[in-house]
Amino acid sequence: MELINLHAFQVLKLLNNNEITSVDYVTELLKHINKREPLIGAWNYLNEDLILNSAKKLDEKRKISTGKNIFGLPIGIKDIIDTYDMPTENGSKICIGRQPSKDAHLVKLLRKEGLIIFGKTVTTEFALSAPGKTKNPKDLECTPGGSSSGSAAAVGDNMIPLSIGSQTGGSVLRPASFNGIIGFKPTFGTISRTGMSPVSYRLDHPGIYARCIEDIELIASIILSYDENDYDMIKDYHFQNHSISNLKDFKFAFVKGPAWKYGDEDMKKIFENFIKSIDLRIDQIQLPSVFEKAVDSHITIMNGGIRSSLYKHYNENKLKLHPYTIERIENGSSLSASDYIDAIQSAKKMSLELKNVFSKYDAIITPAATGQAPRDLSTTGNAVFNGYWTMLGVPAISLPLLKGKDDLPIGAQVIAPWKEDNKLLSISKAIINL
């Protein structure tokens, strides 16, 4: 098998057995990127000399290290996350040439473990809705999703085995669904946002892309780590890899939820057939009535956060902003304090009701997107199937289990209780292997 097609954990075995070097591996990736990047447009910043120099240094470090390590694995970083040696431009004309003086906390953790920060992947402007240059590698006429467009497309096209994205609505899970890969958004407060451009402090989640669960677990074990500078982090949280013996011991809830009416008819049929056919203990349930406000509550909280985070840019550089970005900031500006507080209170009520659901079920299964990737590069798709789960802060993952009418991917979203990220990943691995 070609090196570019291997998962990160497989490459790691070759590295640790001295069958290949990191230079060998990244050279093959760069060859593939040079061929495909003009078509896909996944990268905002890529410096081949920097990549190769990093690989050489880590190869030398590997020679003198003892035991197993992860020196020399490459990872892409969404271009809203600071890197001291690469620009972070937030997908915006306003930030062209912006060079941070230090790494974001999660980037520091990755470098410390010996990963190569490969480059900066394309994001929509300020991680909102204005599409960047990225196209979907499964079909170049289709959106790759957003806002983590480049992170998902780069992994989906085998340009890189691992990448970091972020989600405020559905910006990890929806692109994963559209690109046919795995996207993991952990429990809110388990990955630091220090050094990440904010959209909404109440909603922002960094997330991980890969093509297998083993690779997700590898990166999760590094970056799901406490940072005192992010005031929303959970102090008593510890991520550990987890295994299960029998998937039939678990009970699942199939939830259509308030987003179901927005789904494509093709997707609905495919998903319902999937639920009927998969060999799991699944009950279809209705969410409590308070969830009728879920979609609107998420939008309200997000728009309020957008206004708070981005109004300075609107006030000083409005003409440089995309119309979609302007619209979201203005929507946030029109909110009353009462609207915002009501949405927060509704979210709290939903959390309480969701705890009751999780007292009966180990996980929830629901679509990861409204359907296959829209054949429209002017949009990033609808995040309605992800937004309220993001608002509630529960861990969620998109698994590439289904295909739409055009043979394009559709993800199944699996959701677990708060802080049970390890169980979610082990359940997901078992589902993929059914």
What is d(CA 402, CA 388) in angstroms, rounded to the nearest whole number?
Answer: 22
Q: Shortest CA distance to 123 belongs to which of 105, 145, 96, 148? A: 148
Residue 258: is it exposed, middle or buried by C-beta count within 10 angstroms (0-12/13-18/19+)?
Answer: middle
Judge contact between 117 and 143, C-beta under 8 A.
Answer: no
- Residue 359 annotated as catalytic: no
Catalytic pick among 92, 129, 166, 171? 171
Judge contact between 428 and 213, C-beta under 8 A.
Answer: yes
For the beta carbon of residue 108, count every other beta carbon within 10 angstroms: 18
- Residue 78 annotated as catalytic: yes
Q: What is the 3-state secondary structure (H, E, C) of 314-354?
A: HHHHHHHCCHHHHHHHHHHHCCCHHHHHHHHHHHHHHHHHH
Residue 275, C-beta contacts closer than 8 angstroms, at least 6 positions apart: 254, 282, 284, 365
Catalytic pick among 22, 54, 92, 147? 147
What is d(CA 104, CA 207) in angstroms, rounded to the nearest whole number?
Answer: 14
Catalytic pick among 22, 54, 78, 423? 78
What is d(CA 68, CA 74) in angstroms, rounded to the nearest whole number?
Answer: 17
User: What secondary structure letter does DSSP report for 168?
Assistant: S
Q: Shortest CA distance to 420 belongs to which of 279, 224, 257, 259? A: 224
Judge contact between 211 and 7, C-beta under 8 A.
Answer: yes
- Residue 378 annotated as catalytic: no
**Residues tagged active-site:** 78, 147, 171
